[in-house]
Structure 1
Amino acid sequence: MTDILPSEFFTDPGPSPHAATTELRSRCPVHRINIPPGAEAYAVLGNKVVEEAFGDPRLSKQVENLPAQYRDKATASSLLVVGNLGFADPPKHSRLKKPISKAFLPGTVARLRPRIQDIVDDLIDAFPESGEIDLLSAFALPLPLIAICEYLGIPVEDRPLFQEWSYVLSQDPLQHAESELKAASEEFADYFTKLVAERRNDLRDDLLSELIRARDEEVFSERELLSTILLLIIAGHKTVANMVGNGTTLLLLHPEQLATLRTTPELIPSAIEEILRYEGSAAWASLRVAAQDMRLGGVDIPKGSFVHLSLSGAGHDPEVYDDPERFDITRSPNRHLSFGHGAHFCIGAPLARLQGEIAFSTLLRRLPRFELAVPPEEIAWIADSSLSRGLEALPVRLDGRLPR
């Protein structure tokens, strides 16, 4: 293990990064990587080592454990990393998780089904009967943003603002322009400080009111409250949008799988798991830093090193999956790590799966024929400093639309 992987391996892997990852993984499951540029950092590419790392208490999620120069930069410029369960170790993690965990239990989330179905149908009603649309901006992006705004109990009409903040604030604070992150963090904090003050005088039966009650019982600090709201908007929006966009693309690129799904819609939950394994919404797990000297996958990792867990690499590991480059919606078993593992398993997974199930079943039922409107090689994957894996746009051609 001598070569240091370039930053682009993380930020701009292109449409098909899996072959390069497979070659690297076959040599060693852990490699040095230049992210953030100039730092001591490691990329973990093997499924079993990624899973082991998820449960290793020596890997910290807290910004306080970063080397000083990075810690100061992150806390100065990014509201996201300073105070929510996604960037906390026990016991802080348990304290921050408790007030919201009930809201994301499968039973609680299931009650949202009729409303999510309405949102999906309303968006499809706005499609033309036939012709071209960008399925990302017309459907995949607005669906989860409307759903999470309504669930939180925040004004859906301010959706464009949230979408913009979500895009900027999901970038890595150690790589992205500090001024842009700082400006977006301040705008977000101003907006929600006002909204929280108003809602305090009008508490309701929504998630924002629950968070405010927790703040008033001193479970959260004010900054932790804002950081948690930000996490819920970003995680509840961008990842689901990617799942719908990436999944639709995979189905259009594998017409035999799409045909099977049309004739056997009960396979949709299985198809969603395969989409998440094959081209998941996040290519990498969120921030981890070695809180002490450690060894991972046979490689020594010094204290203070960044450790990046490749969810994309884990999902294509031939040690775990037969023929991992085959996209197969009937794959079973299909235990993937796309929602994380252990204490940091994604709290929003039930809501994401529910939205995916309703989105795909309704698209396939109401759009009898649709296809890519550009050659497959023209589909552009986003290159940025965030963890996510998604498309810039998804141009499709529709031919007919059935009523809701």
Structure 2
Amino acid sequence: MATTLPDPPALVADPHAAYARLREAGPVHRVTGPDGLPVWIVTRYADVRQLLADPRLSLDKVHRLPGNYRGFSLPPALDRNLLNMDPPDHTRIRRLVSKAFTPGRVERMRPGVQTLADQLVEGVAGRGRADLVAEFAAPLPIAVICDLLGVPHDSRRDFRAWTDALVAPDPENPGAAKEAVPAMLAYFTQLVAEKRRTPGNDLLTDLIDVRDEGDKLSEDELTSLAFLMLFAGYENTVQLIGTAVLALLDHPEQLAALRDDPAKVEGAVEEFARYDGPALLAIRRFPVEDVEIDGVTIPAGETVMLSLASANRDADRFPDPDRLDVDRRDGGHLALGHGIHYCVGAPLARLETQIAVSTLLQRFPALALDVPRDELRWRPSMRARGLVALPVRF
């Protein structure tokens, strides 16, 4: 019989406590997902890390048995992306995308990202208070990824609304997610067509040129790749910036240590990702054959969720795992994945978070929460860990 996860509000409010109980009870559990269908959740660091790179666990939904957890459905023109495919197609497409996110190329983006961060903080500085999600953490990465891909400014607000509807549906507006999917499909189809007519100096134009020169990117692959890069290219970074700032406000001694020595920010970003990263669970996987974990057999075709949040709080891997420590150097967190599906945009997410945190601490030495801590609201998602808003004063 499947275990039932805590009610969504309890899980959203304190996922780390829920996963700690599961991790203590065992390495793998069959639980009832939010749609009432069964899923397997793997909780311990060693198992999660191994399975993230295990070729027996496929991302391709063709291996899913009927009656398993579905998640939200996308049309083929958006679904044919890196999160739903295995080698060799995954290898071919990832190779094209990864050229845009090499550490050297991302580092050359630093001046532009810093300029944008400075503009955003100056835009709110005179008011003495702000919602750091809406006015800083969200506009920074969405502007960066949209500039990289060549997305016009007048489309960015709609895009953020669509993404919010898919990642954290509003219970009071249940139709928003269904409306977002065709809207995004129409948008990306039009964007690709416009880039063909009027090429630009951007990544999407480069990918179109590769396809049109006879490479093996299909039309669906091209459209869904643009969707994934925009969707994933900003969503996780928004949440990481928000939870990083909140973690520092919750731990004033760590905030002081980082402010006293700004050079620590690079390592601190790794600790923010480990401590309260943006993804509670990795993208679902489907075993292509039966997989055994500590004597428990997961049948082929069932749905497996690997808990990144649980693995990153595993005391067998990280000493005192529930403590934020910006000087932690044991490394190896799984917040950005592991293996061939490791986050391709990780260098950019790191850069943006480093700059965001450093800029806020330098510009606002009296940064503090502007509401009681227990009034903060989290996005209603089983998979994504993010604040709805982060009201601060400075």
Shorter-chain TM-score tier: over 0.9
In structure 2, the partner of 1:402 is none
Spell out the pairing of 1:66-145 with structure 2 (5 A cutoff).
66-68=64-66, 80=78, 82-145=79-142
In structure 1, the partner of 2:53 is 55
Q: Residue 207 of structure 1 is aligned with which of 177, 199, 203?
A: 203
Identity %: 40
Q: Cα deviations across residues 292-338 of structure 1 (Å, max 9, x unaligned)?
A: 22212431111221100111001100000111111111011121000
Q: What secondary structure sits across from 1:41 in the alignment?
A: strand
In structure 1, the partner of 2:3 is 4
User: Quick check: 1:345 aligned with 2:334?
Assistant: no
In structure 1, the partner of 2:152 is 155
In structure 2, the partner of 1:223 is 220
In structure 2, the partner of 1:401 is none
TM-score by length of 1: 0.91
Q: What secondary structure sits across from 1:323 in the alignment?
A: coil
CA distance in 1, matches of 2:69, 2:308: 24
Q: Cα distance 1:74–1:373, how it changes in 2: closer, same or farther (>3 A)?
A: closer
Structure 1, 236-245 or 286-295: larger mean CA deviation = 286-295
User: Quick check: 1:65 aligned with 2:51?
Assistant: no
Q: Cα distance 1:191–1:18, how it changes in 2: closer, same or farther (>3 A)?
A: closer
User: Quick check: 1:252 aligned with 2:249?
Assistant: yes
In structure 1, the partner of 2:285 is 288
Task: Check the 8 A contact 2:2/2:32 in 1, yes or no.
Answer: no
Per the TM alignment, residue 42 of structure 1 is displaced from its structure 2 partner at its CA by 0.5
User: Quick check: 1:30 aligned with 2:28?
Assistant: yes
Q: Cα distance 1:191–1:341, how it changes in 2: closer, same or farther (>3 A)?
A: same
CA distance in 2, matches of 1:100, 1:248: 30
Spell out the pairing of 1:235-314 with structure 2 (5 A cutoff).
235-314=232-311
Per the TM alignment, residue 157 of structure 1 is displaced from its structure 2 partner at its CA by 2.5
User: Quick check: 1:321 aligned with 2:318?
Assistant: yes
Matched letter for residue 142 of structure 1? P
Per the TM alignment, residue 156 of structure 1 is displaced from its structure 2 partner at its CA by 2.3
Q: What secondary structure sits across from 1:32 in the alignment?
A: strand
Q: Cα deviations across residues 347-391 of structure 1 (Å, max 9, x unaligned)?
A: 000000010111111111111211001111111111135x21000
In structure 1, the partner of 2:388 is 392
Task: Check the 8 A contact 2:74/2:181 in 1, yes or no.
Answer: no
User: Quick check: 1:367 aligned with 2:368?
Assistant: no
CA distance in 2, matches of 1:368, 1:8: 39
Per the TM alignment, residue 218 of structure 1 is displaced from its structure 2 partner at its CA by 4.2
Q: Cα deviations across residues 106-145 of structure 1 (Å, max 9, x unaligned)?
A: 0111111111011101111110424321111010011000
Q: What secondary structure sits across from 1:67 in the alignment?
A: coil
TM-score by length of 2: 0.93
Matched letter for residue 349 of structure 1? A
Name stretches of at least 5 consecutive residues in structure 2 with no aligned partner.
Answer: none
In structure 2, the partner of 1:185 is 181
Name stretches of at least 5 consecutive residues in structure 1 with no aligned partner.
Answer: 399-404
User: Quick check: 1:39 aligned with 2:37?
Assistant: yes
Q: Residue 333 of structure 1 is aligned with which of 324, 327, 330?
A: 330
User: Quick check: 1:358 aligned with 2:355?
Assistant: yes
Q: Cα distance 1:70–1:227, how it changes in 2: closer, same or farther (>3 A)?
A: farther
CA distance in 1, matches of 2:241, 2:200: 31
CA distance in 2, matches of 1:178, 1:91: 37
How many matched pairs? 391
Per the TM alignment, residue 211 of structure 1 is displaced from its structure 2 partner at its CA by 1.6
CA distance in 2, matches of 1:71, 1:323: 34
Matched letter for residue 32 of structure 1? R
